[in-house]
Structure 1
Amino acid sequence: MCSQFISPFRITDGNGFRLSSYDPGDTGPFRKNQKKALMERLENGISYMGSLQEVFYASARHSLLIVLQAMDAAGKDSTIKHVMSGVNPQGCRVDSFKQPSHDELAHDFLWRTTQCLPKRGMIGIFNRSYYEEVLVTKVHPELLEEEGFSPGKADGKFWKDRYKSIRHMEEHLSRNKTHIIKFFLHISPEEQKKRFLDRLDIPEKNWKFSPSDIRERVFWDDYQKAFESMITHTSSSNAPWYIVPADNKWFARIVVLTAIVEKLASLRLEYPDPSAGEKENYPLYKKTLEEETTTKPSQGKKKSTTQSSRPGKKKK
């Protein structure tokens, strides 16, 4: 897939960043009447990503962390569902972080997500993440009391220290071969309203609606400022943010998919080679299999009257 069109959406240095410079309805170089052709492009890209992920999993040399942040109804769940539909579930894990538990609140704010970081060979997807702690808690500082902090002392330094903790953590992960891609799905208030109305009008979507969705809309401007500050302070070349125009779901999915494919392809991984000694035995293994009779080894033998033990376990 051509990745040049996503460059304008990639933020590696937050200096001078302004969220208002990005249009949630943007479709890049594509027109809406090209949607059908782009859906075919999307399917081909999903298939290609599946082949890249297979090598990524087999090599087990790197891990990939994908972070998704957005306002409600921006399409995080559907993006994961569609974009990751071609990967082997064995090599991918999705974790959603909603309201923290009492035990999670008793630890530092990075603790609960640290437990879910992907191991080498795995793709980990965070549907919301540690960034909630500089978003929701910043818009609603009263929640900091549950973490043992005084809301009145959550000044500029407090938030800068949290950004610093996040940057240091991401730098540490990057040094240890965990690659990080972060997506902010940028939706307009008009499109969010439309999607909320769909959740109320369409029975199959009723389950998605929550009264808190309406309550949080009141804080729209506060959240936009929090997102802007988050991206400004935590963008880096090792852990870039992508501002994904999300009013058109098909375009959002193409941006996310292309960024992931670009990252996986850049690693230039190959399937692991067996050791030289092991490969020397391949002709023998092949001959053994080719000369194997069609009779099962157990046929013709009298069944044992004693219960056999499982492999690797001693009989009692």
Structure 2
Amino acid sequence: MEHKDYSPWRVKSNSSLKLRDIETLPSPKDLPTDEAWQSSMHKLGDKLNKLQGTLHAGKSKGLLLVLQGMDTAGKDGVIRSVFTHISPLGVRAEAFGAPSDLEKSHDFLWRIHQKTPVLGEMVIFNRSHYEDVLVTRVRGWVKKDTCEKRFDDIKHFESLLSDSGITVLKCYLHISKAEQKKRLQARLDDPHKHWKLQPSDFEDRQLWPKFAEAYEDALSATSTPDAPWYVVPADSKPYRDLFVADLLVQTLESMKLEMPKPLFDLSKVKLD
């Protein structure tokens, strides 16, 4: 299958990003049928599994995938769908909630740095260090100028990761307020999903414009050549998952991964 060009969804550094100008749902012709989705995800899953195996064996590079988005945008869903057929060896998902008292006594990146990939590892962040320039700003816990200083800290942090052999890929799952309403209602209607609901889900919905502005500033300020942001249309779950899977495969292929050389001369091995 041919790869798609995702450059139109890549956020330009220090641009005047307006999320309202980016569609949350692609045109009908771009929406995959169930059959096409299953076929494409199977092919991408095979590629991703092989690439991840090479990454794990080589232990010379690593990859960090950052997933951010409003509540119900599908961070958990992406992880389940995209990584279903991947060997668990060398793959790890980390979720970041409210910081503990110990974590709050350190700088805001302290708890994050401990969870970043080692060489040979792929790590997925379900929420991330960006919470400290998003929810903290919207809730008024830190001032806007503090967030702007943190943008610089984040860029230096991600540059350090890149210099250390870690490729950083960041995806903002772009969901509409109308689609979020449908997904929240579905959770309210399903007792098996009540555990997912928190008061903040409904409080944050009332602060939608402020969150949109905070995301626009954060994505624009921190999308760099070493750690780009992509805005992923997320109203369609199948389209969202294909987007992230294909983008991830392209990113891994661009890393030019190689299998390590054998530890000894295999030509001398003779099996009885």
- What residue identity is the alignment partner of 1:40? S
- What's 2:37 paired with? 38
Q: CA deviation at 1:90?
A: 1.2
- What's 2:124 paired with? 125
Whether the aligned pair in 2 keeps the contact of 1:39 and 1:250 (CA below 8 Å) is no
Q: CA deviation at 1:268?
A: 2.1
* Residue in structure 2 matching 1:253, options 241, 244, 248: 241
SS of equivalent to 2:64: strand
- What's 2:265 paired with? 279
Looking at structure 1, the residues matched to 44 and 248 of structure 2 have their Cα atoms a distance apart, in angstroms, of: 10
- Closer, same or farther: CA 78–134 of 1 in aligned 2, 3 Å: same
- What's 2:253 paired with? 265
SS of equivalent to 1:65: strand
TM-score normalised by structure 1 residue count: 0.82
Looking at structure 1, the residues matched to 183 and 202 of structure 2 have their Cα atoms a distance apart, in angstroms, of: 12
- What residue identity is the alignment partner of 2:177? P
Q: CA deviation at 1:155?
A: 4.2
Whose radius of gyration is greater, 1 or 2? 1
- What residue identity is the alignment partner of 1:39? Q
RMSD, aligned CA? 1.6
- What's 2:148 paired with? 160
- What's 2:55 paired with? 56
- What residue identity is the alignment partner of 1:279? D
Unaligned 5+ runs, structure 2 = none
Looking at structure 1, the residues matched to 31 and 74 of structure 2 have their Cα atoms a distance apart, in angstroms, of: 20
1:200 to 2:188 alignment: yes
SS of equivalent to 1:4: coil
Looking at structure 2, the residues matched to 122 and 70 of structure 1 have their Cα atoms a distance apart, in angstroms, of: 24
* Residue in structure 2 matching 1:174, options 158, 162, 166: 162
SS of equivalent to 2:125: strand
Looking at structure 2, the residues matched to 35 and 5 of structure 1 have their Cα atoms a distance apart, in angstroms, of: 22
- What's 1:309 paired with? none
Whether the aligned pair in 2 keeps the contact of 1:55 and 1:270 (CA below 8 Å) is yes
Counterpart mapping for 1:280-295 below 5 A: 282-283=267-268, 285-286=269-270, 289-290=271-272
- Closer, same or farther: CA 193–155 of 1 in aligned 2, 3 Å: closer
Q: CA deviation at 1:159?
A: 1.9
Q: Deviations over 1:272-306 (max 9, x none)?
A: 1125xx216x52x42xx41xxxxxxxxxxxxxxxx
- What's 1:20 paired with? 20
SS of equivalent to 1:237: coil
Structure 1's consecutive aligned runs of 4 or more residues displaced over 6 angstroms after TM superposition are: none
- What's 1:114 paired with? 113
- What residue identity is the alignment partner of 1:52? L
- What's 1:240 paired with? 228
SS of equivalent to 2:6: helix
Whether the aligned pair in 2 keeps the contact of 1:58 and 1:121 (CA below 8 Å) is yes
Looking at structure 2, the residues matched to 36 and 27 of structure 1 have their Cα atoms a distance apart, in angstroms, of: 18
The percent of aligned pairs where both chains have the same amino acid is 37
Whether the aligned pair in 2 keeps the contact of 1:5 and 1:29 (CA below 8 Å) is no
Unaligned 5+ runs, structure 1 = 145-153, 291-316
- What residue identity is the alignment partner of 1:226? A
Q: Deviations over 1:41-98 (max 9, x none)?
A: 1121111110111111101110100000011111100100110112111110111000
Whether the aligned pair in 2 keeps the contact of 1:52 and 1:264 (CA below 8 Å) is yes
Q: CA deviation at 1:269?
A: 1.8
- Closer, same or farther: CA 60–28 of 1 in aligned 2, 3 Å: farther
- What's 1:308 paired with? none
Whether the aligned pair in 1 keeps the contact of 2:137 and 2:144 (CA below 8 Å) is no
- What residue identity is the alignment partner of 1:41? S
- What's 2:178 paired with? 190
SS of equivalent to 1:117: coil
Looking at structure 2, the residues matched to 45 and 259 of structure 1 have their Cα atoms a distance apart, in angstroms, of: 10
Looking at structure 1, the residues matched to 255 and 29 of structure 2 have their Cα atoms a distance apart, in angstroms, of: 27
- What residue identity is the alignment partner of 2:112? T
